[in-house]
Structure 1
């Protein structure tokens, strides 16, 4: 076999090997082919240091029939411009519910036109990660509300706009946090705290 042919065959074999190694399927939950990246905190690690379950938040939102049309519209494609250009406007954090050991993912959706300085949240969702799926256990939409983790547990944060604010009402004057508690089936808001 001529030297050029042997070299070409060797290069093809190496390329095929690299492609096979780099294209293996890793099961990290629901995936979107060709999806743009989503700002996210790394999935938590178990005691042994191995990654715990994680999800493709965009696909979870798209497949959940309980998610509003406005939110689904926001995750049809990555943001075309602005601070989130090339990214889906979805922000993800992984935690474990206190005193339960239940792994959850907090997903907040902000419109592409939203400002970094002022809240522009379309909705916040908490999903329980179990039995190979993500089950929605809490939703907040409207009123620029989102889900967060505060002082060791989940909360819903709602922006408060004071009448006649100096900023012309564009940015909230303050934030109200309401603790979320696990009731055995989902998260409920704890009023009066």
Structure 2
């Protein structure tokens, strides 16, 4: 890599700032009620929930713990995934679009409650999330997304400027989202 290009596979900040447990390869037969394949965020949470329900649970991964998507994440916990709500309303209807939002909010609450229950130190904090544009041509799409928020009762706000001096012509803010250190979680 030279001084003007990005590395092909940069080492994620999360992997540099967390000590991940290491486990030896499984070399014997074991029995369990449930085997969960994949030790990323979804697999770990699934195994946690099953174990809490009394199932003898095995979690396994072909590689390292949280070394895929979970280890390379943006670390945002949000129901805001781009310009999605206007599209969802058009394609699957208001009721299912609302369920999508509620499912994401429920997941965020689960993460927060798990952190509080176990005293997990993972830099969790509530933050607003923003969709913004520097292009006049994109403003109409943001307006439609804001209308979708209003239709679904999503707490959002149409704003003219972003915090911290970030350049942008217009933005949609979704309040009360979150961020954390995913590998410390």
Higher share of residues assigned strand: 1
Q: TM-score, normalised by structure 1?
A: 0.22
Higher share of residues assigned helix: 2
Higher relative contact order (CA 8 A, sep 6+): 2
Q: TM-score, normalised by structure 2?
A: 0.22
